[in-house]
A and B are shown apart, each in its own frame.
Chain A
């Protein structure tokens, strides 16, 4: 019977209160927001926190807004908020692409953006999307706030830069003129984790790619990213030949392992196909040819 081990429960009233509680209870305490990863792991007793600190009352972190030249996403924004956000879609359609294929409506109604990326599952879609758009992560502790650029946020499977007594509060993405983005995913069935997924973000000046980000999920790409593919494209023309070369580099540079979602060779094949598709769509969007 799947029931969690005994656990204490506290409800945080503010970010400061949540951090104070994290400090008080130490490393065996866990924040819980949507709970869509943590609760199943607790029921299987793979996770056994001693204290749960519920942060669902921190609704002031549930925003998605433009501030200056940045898109700011509060850690407590739900997947559904991001899916339906006009401002996010205006600058980064990649988020809607990704959210449409994350889990199912029930999970999206409750699961949070902060929870997803702090869970840092190697197959997590938003981690790849944020890698593609080179988001910065805002982490708060009792000593203040620090900003961690995306590549440094992920330290490996299920591990992030968020330390003891800290919580992620916000994701920031620079708004870039002439930018287009897209997300492509292959899953075994709707709602499943990715077999492979690729996000791409392209910034164009005329036909020249001035900046590019390529994020990959589920294929053990370092920091969810293909720096090699990005290097091929940056500063060059936005052509099919360049995209094909970048897609090949993305496939070459990742390190998928075989599991019941598929053999490694298929995942690598998908990394190439999906990188190409994501680049094409991101470019079309940058050129205003596709919504």
Chain B
């Protein structure tokens, strides 16, 4: 048996190593949806609504159908005959696949053309004649419940307003009482504007319905291939064993690729209608204008405290703009996601959270962009409110936080809205961040600069995440429990394969999960193949989002691998002619207690397990294990972030000078991958805090539909990140790990906003803090960032 020789830098287990998948990515040999070409494949293009709200009077497809290269033109009317004009949303609503009665947002799908090539498909869109009757649109969530607001969802019987849901958490009476006795109450209106994950690869799908075998094969940009397959089976009535969903390489997801988009369904219909494989890949504007956006939360926040700065309670009344259809992805029980963890990292007497969801004439979505099911909004709200309180009390914001943290000995800590925080040491992380930053010196520098008329700001954000959804008894998506499976198999020669339900979009799963198996079994990561993204070849599970892969599937893999190890022990005992109880494990081998030289390596055991040796009673041979992991609780990573900005006093342009990020995600399986995840999330934070927004004008025109209008940060806007770590293992996870994919996206925006507002001495202004908005804030006239700037 050979063990692949690894450079010393490659650990057999946890540790820093280069990502296994990068060899193909850096050579341009990734295999994305648009790289896949099937024999006879046709191409689809979608006709989209130019109006935000209009009645469809008629659609004439005659000229498009006459185009010599067009194979099919599909409209809502055709889908109605198949029962597919509307499909269930992820949140107890329905979504139009193709509009039948009305269009409800600009960019909504109206017709689908299938042609021999994508150019002809696009040309044929112009041959479709749609007669629209424009209707008044409502894009301002704050006006959506006005009595005279146009009713968007008149498809829902009896619907007379744009209200979706009211939801609350926490205790209203206790919270009111805490506010009543407080010395200080600070109130602020905050918008977390609509932003978009904007993955580098847009969404797309190829569907291939084989009419002979009846098998439907789908290649899709999905973060959740198994969920997609089951939903196709449930919604379209297709037999589940006849559906195969393949997620090839995915160029970024960030929650944008969780749900089933109309375009996906249309490729399936297109393939059924034409009998050929049909590919559809959306362009950048389609991605920005029609697919899952994020946030759009109008938050009224209140914080109550004593005059000494003891925080007593938090309260919020929030308006959630879900767009034209309620299609947010989150566990069924939680229509506002995990927003009620707005209690943050503080030991409170009471908290109360109310959320009202509304329809507007905007694209549907809301849960995306590494938001951890709305922890992003929650964390921003509480971290801004704490800064507002510090400003009111004239206290240092670091001191105020240290004074109010949940203390290490209070864990597990049940917060006032019901979350059980599993573990944490907040003061330690905060102090480490302050040490790295040189916090006292920075404050001294700020005083000097202020005296000279220079604008410098220091902002802090301390976030607590809740990730790894989740316990089956509490959490499901469309009735599917959020437990995930994993299978580990050791081949006869000691190499291994691990099969996952979760789907990497760039996070490095092929490395991380190999390292988990390596850690538990002593097989080098390079000897372990990680298989994912193919429902025919992997166990069931709900996929990758909400930072759940390591907390859920990581645990499943660890337990499956331990089962392999336990089986190996029985085989090794037979090989060594000793009792299993006499064996002790050292990474990579079972040895006889007190006699380390008498041992069998995992590779030797694997061969024996597949060989002719007589196996112990009850052992079936081969070397494999599996697990379906139902997490007992969520995990609670946390972090202390400090941002330093310099602002031009005349133009008010913001320069992020430094950003210190101390993250505690438990033990780090591959620190390099963790750091990469944090770097990306911090850049997201710069984007959201300073430039990213999808606004709409009063007619409902999307003002962020291209990369000229929707700005993503570049390396020029980002400082050299300064990272630190503390390690507080999760007590209930087999590896102690907590998940980190979304931590920096959740935690960083508040730090940057707090720094900018600290610099200019303004209590609050909404993101994105473009230089125009910062200038207006200094003038006391910040503008609405979600509407057209006037």
A interface residues with partner B (beta carbon < 8 Å)? 1-3, 5-6, 44-45, 186, 188-193, 195, 258-263, 266, 269-270, 273-274
Name the one of B45, B282, B711, B788 contacting A189, with C-beta atoms under 8 angstroms.
B711
Whole-angstrom distance between the Cβ of A97 and the nearest chain B Cβ: 15
Residues on A with C-beta less than 8 A from B123 are 5-6
What is the CA–CA distance of A274 and B790 in the complex, to the nearest angstrom? 22
The answer to whether B651 touches A2 (Cβ under 8 A) is no
Residues on B with C-beta less than 8 A from A190 are 714, 716-717
The answer to whether A263 touches B771 (Cβ under 8 A) is no
Name the one of B126, B284, B703, B714 contacting A260, with C-beta atoms under 8 angstroms.
B703
The answer to whether A273 touches B121 (Cβ under 8 A) is no
The 10 closest A-B pairs by CB, nearest first: A262-B772, A190-B716, A2-B283, A266-B772, A273-B650, A189-B711, A3-B122, A1-B283, A1-B122, A258-B789
**B82-130 interface with A by 8 A CB criterion:** 118-119, 121-123, 126
Residues on B with C-beta less than 8 A from A263 are 772, 776, 783, 789-790
Residues on B with C-beta less than 8 A from A191 are 714
Residues on A with C-beta less than 8 A from B709 are 260
Minimum CB distance partner of B686 in chain A: A189
The answer to whether A269 touches B790 (Cβ under 8 A) is no
Residues on A with C-beta less than 8 A from B711 are 188-189, 192
Residues on A with C-beta less than 8 A from B695 are 260
The answer to whether A195 touches B772 (Cβ under 8 A) is yes
**B267-301 interface with A by 8 A CB criterion:** 281-286
Name the one of B119, B281, B651, B691 contacting A270, with C-beta atoms under 8 angstroms.
B651
Whole-angstrom distance between the Cβ of A197 and the nearest chain B Cβ: 11
The answer to whether B771 touches A195 (Cβ under 8 A) is yes
Known: A2-B284, A5-B123, A262-B789. A188 touches B775 (CB 8 A): no
What is the CA–CA distance of A258 and B790 in the complex, to the nearest angstrom? 5
Minimum CB distance partner of A273 in chain B: B650
Residues on A with C-beta less than 8 A from B651 are 186, 270, 273-274
Whole-angstrom distance between the Cβ of B128 and the nearest chain A Cβ: 14
Interface of B is mostly: loop
Name the one of B281, B284, B653, B776 contacting A186, with C-beta atoms under 8 angstroms.
B653
Among A6, A258, A263, the most chain B Cβ lie within 10 Å of the Cβ of A263
What is the CA–CA distance of A248 and B701 in the complex, to the nearest angstrom? 35
Residues on B with C-beta less than 8 A from A5 are 123, 126
What is the CA–CA distance of A1 and B112 in the complex, to the nearest angstrom? 12
Residues on A with C-beta less than 8 A from B667 are none
What is the CA–CA distance of A260 and B787 in the complex, to the nearest angstrom? 9
What is the CA–CA distance of A6 and B493 in the complex, to the nearest angstrom? 58
Interface of A is mostly: loop
The answer to whether A260 touches B789 (Cβ under 8 A) is yes
Contacts beyond the supplied A5-B126, A258-B790: 6 A-B pairs with Cβ under 8 Å:
A258-B788, A259-B789, A260-B704, A260-B789, A269-B775, A273-B650
Q: Is B134 interfacial (CB-CB < 8 Å)?
A: no
Residues on B with C-beta less than 8 A from A269 are 775
Q: Is B30 interfacial (CB-CB < 8 Å)?
A: no
Q: Is B15 interfacial (CB-CB < 8 Å)?
A: no
The answer to whether B691 touches A189 (Cβ under 8 A) is yes
The answer to whether B118 touches A3 (Cβ under 8 A) is yes
B interface residues with partner A (beta carbon < 8 Å)? 45, 118-119, 121-123, 126, 281-286, 650-651, 653, 691, 695, 703-704, 708-709, 711, 713-714, 716-717, 770-772, 775-776, 783, 788-790
The answer to whether A1 touches B282 (Cβ under 8 A) is yes
Whole-angstrom distance between the Cβ of B772 and the nearest chain A Cβ: 3
Whole-angstrom distance between the Cβ of B64 and the nearest chain A Cβ: 15
Minimum CB distance partner of B717 in chain A: A189
What is the CA–CA distance of A260 and B45 in the complex, to the nearest angstrom? 29
Whole-angstrom distance between the Cβ of A53 and the nearest chain B Cβ: 21
What is the CA–CA distance of A260 and B790 in the complex, to the nearest angstrom? 9
Known: A1-B122, A186-B651, A191-B714. A261 touches B772 (CB 8 A): yes
Residues on A with C-beta less than 8 A from B714 are 189-191
Name the one of A3, A6, A189, A259 contacting B713, with C-beta atoms under 8 angstroms.
A189
What is the CA–CA distance of A45 and B283 in the complex, to the nearest angstrom? 14
17 contacts between A and B (CB under 8 A): A1-B45, A1-B121, A1-B286, A2-B283, A3-B118, A186-B653, A189-B714, A191-B714, A195-B771, A260-B695, A260-B704, A263-B772, A263-B776, A263-B783, A263-B789, A266-B776, A273-B651
Residues on A with C-beta less than 8 A from B788 are 258-260
Whole-angstrom distance between the Cβ of A243 and the nearest chain B Cβ: 14
What is the CA–CA distance of A35 and B138 in the complex, to the nearest angstrom? 38
Minimum CB distance partner of A262 in chain B: B772
What is the CA–CA distance of A3 and B691 in the complex, to the nearest angstrom? 28
Minimum CB distance partner of B703 in chain A: A260
Among B284, B711, B714, the most chain A Cβ lie within 10 Å of the Cβ of B711
Residues on A with C-beta less than 8 A from B118 are 1, 3
What is the CA–CA distance of A228 and B564 in the complex, to the nearest angstrom? 83
Whole-angstrom distance between the Cβ of B457 and the nearest chain A Cβ: 19
Residues on A with C-beta less than 8 A from B716 are 189-190
The answer to whether B285 touches A2 (Cβ under 8 A) is yes
What is the CA–CA distance of A264 and B443 in the complex, to the nearest angstrom? 35
Whole-angstrom distance between the Cβ of A190 and the nearest chain B Cβ: 4
What is the CA–CA distance of A149 and B667 in the complex, to the nearest angstrom? 68
Among B650, B653, B714, the most chain A Cβ lie within 10 Å of the Cβ of B650
The answer to whether A188 touches B285 (Cβ under 8 A) is no
What is the CA–CA distance of A192 and B770 in the complex, to the nearest angstrom? 13
Whole-angstrom distance between the Cβ of A123 and the nearest chain B Cβ: 11
Among A1, A2, A191, A258, the most chain B Cβ lie within 10 Å of the Cβ of A1
Whole-angstrom distance between the Cβ of B285 and the nearest chain A Cβ: 7
The answer to whether A1 touches B717 (Cβ under 8 A) is no
What is the CA–CA distance of A274 and B771 in the complex, to the nearest angstrom? 14
What is the CA–CA distance of A6 and B69 in the complex, to the nearest angstrom? 14
The answer to whether A188 touches B770 (Cβ under 8 A) is yes
What is the CA–CA distance of A266 and B779 in the complex, to the nearest angstrom? 10
Residues on A with C-beta less than 8 A from B775 are 266, 269
The answer to whether A188 touches B691 (Cβ under 8 A) is yes
What is the CA–CA distance of A3 and B123 in the complex, to the nearest angstrom? 9
Minimum CB distance partner of B714 in chain A: A190
Minimum CB distance partner of B117 in chain A: A3
What is the CA–CA distance of A6 and B286 in the complex, to the nearest angstrom? 21
What is the CA–CA distance of A44 and B126 in the complex, to the nearest angstrom? 13
What is the CA–CA distance of A2 and B289 in the complex, to the nearest angstrom? 14
The answer to whether B770 touches A1 (Cβ under 8 A) is no
Whole-angstrom distance between the Cβ of B516 and the nearest chain A Cβ: 39
Whole-angstrom distance between the Cβ of A282 and the nearest chain B Cβ: 17
Whole-angstrom distance between the Cβ of A158 and the nearest chain B Cβ: 15
What is the CA–CA distance of A6 and B126 in the complex, to the nearest angstrom? 12
Whole-angstrom distance between the Cβ of A210 and the nearest chain B Cβ: 29
The answer to whether B281 touches A1 (Cβ under 8 A) is yes
Whole-angstrom distance between the Cβ of B41 and the nearest chain A Cβ: 15
Residues on A with C-beta less than 8 A from B650 are 273
Residues on B with C-beta less than 8 A from A1 are 45, 118, 121-122, 281-283, 286
Whole-angstrom distance between the Cβ of A249 and the nearest chain B Cβ: 18
Minimum CB distance partner of B285 in chain A: A2
Residues on B with C-beta less than 8 A from A258 are 788-790
The answer to whether B770 touches A262 (Cβ under 8 A) is yes
Minimum CB distance partner of A196 in chain B: B651
Residues on A with C-beta less than 8 A from B282 are 1
Minimum CB distance partner of B118 in chain A: A1
Among A5, A6, A191, A262, the most chain B Cβ lie within 10 Å of the Cβ of A262
Minimum CB distance partner of A261 in chain B: B772
Among B286, B695, B708, the most chain A Cβ lie within 10 Å of the Cβ of B708
Minimum CB distance partner of A192 in chain B: B711
What is the CA–CA distance of A269 and B713 in the complex, to the nearest angstrom? 25
Residues on A with C-beta less than 8 A from B790 are 258, 263
Whole-angstrom distance between the Cβ of A263 and the nearest chain B Cβ: 5
What is the CA–CA distance of A188 and B714 in the complex, to the nearest angstrom? 12
Whole-angstrom distance between the Cβ of A256 and the nearest chain B Cβ: 11
What is the CA–CA distance of A263 and B787 in the complex, to the nearest angstrom? 12
Whole-angstrom distance between the Cβ of B698 and the nearest chain A Cβ: 13
What is the CA–CA distance of A157 and B590 in the complex, to the nearest angstrom? 78
Whole-angstrom distance between the Cβ of A124 and the nearest chain B Cβ: 14
What is the CA–CA distance of A263 and B770 in the complex, to the nearest angstrom? 11
